[in-house]
Amino acid sequence: MARVYIAVGSNLAEPMQQVKNALAALKDLPETECIACSSLYRTKPMGPQNQPDFLNAAVALETTLAPEELLNHTQAIELTQGRVRKDERWGPRTLDLDIMLFGDQVINTERLTVPHYGLKQREFMLYPLAEIAPDLIFPDGEALSERLKHIPENGLALWLQPQSSDSNHYIYPMDFKMHRDGKGANPREHS
């Protein structure tokens, strides 16, 4: 089985529900087990700022699917949830599922680039990834913890939702096993 990390993002059509639906669909993939999901993060959009903030997370899977088979499944999930692929880069979207890493493989095909081409520059991918895989080493030998030292925050915050009238709690998606050993990213909390 390969350990795979997927970035999940949404900023349209009720992002919280979009992400919950995506996590449920990932959990149901054949030959695949969901083993961890990060907290949910609020991030500023890349590119045009005249769009809502994104809700982002990272998911760890173990799968026997081939990389392009997994890509077929993630793109089908996106389509099911109303994703429309446009020429506009960095525009708003109902759902974005990106394969960040597939084991230690380096993949460059017409359809798939792994590690994800923007992974090492994007805080909305790296911080959630660090939460569930703090000791991760990229295929090129660089440690995720080292890479994080060079990444600006860009307004990254935990996505909080009131659970009672007197407190706020982190949102943890559904019933995934959570990585909670105290290691990992330490993003600033904002309300």
Q: Which residues are known catalytic residues?
A: 83, 93, 96, 98
> DSSP of 138-152, one letter per residue?
-TTS-BHHHHHTT--
Instruction: State how far the Cα of 133 lies from the Cα of 127, in Å rounded to an integer.
Output: 10
Q: Buried b / exposed e across 20-34, counting CB within 10 Å, b at 16+? A: bbbbebbbebeebeb
Q: How far is CA 25 from CA 3, 17, 146, in A?
A: 18, 12, 33
92 contact partners, CB below 8 Å, separation of at least 6: 11, 12, 45, 51, 52
| Residue in the block written with tokens 């446009």 | 86
Question: Would you tell me how many other CB atoms lie within 10 Å of the CB of residue 115?
Answer: 20
Question: Would you tell me how many other CB atoms lie within 10 Å of the CB of residue 146?
Answer: 10
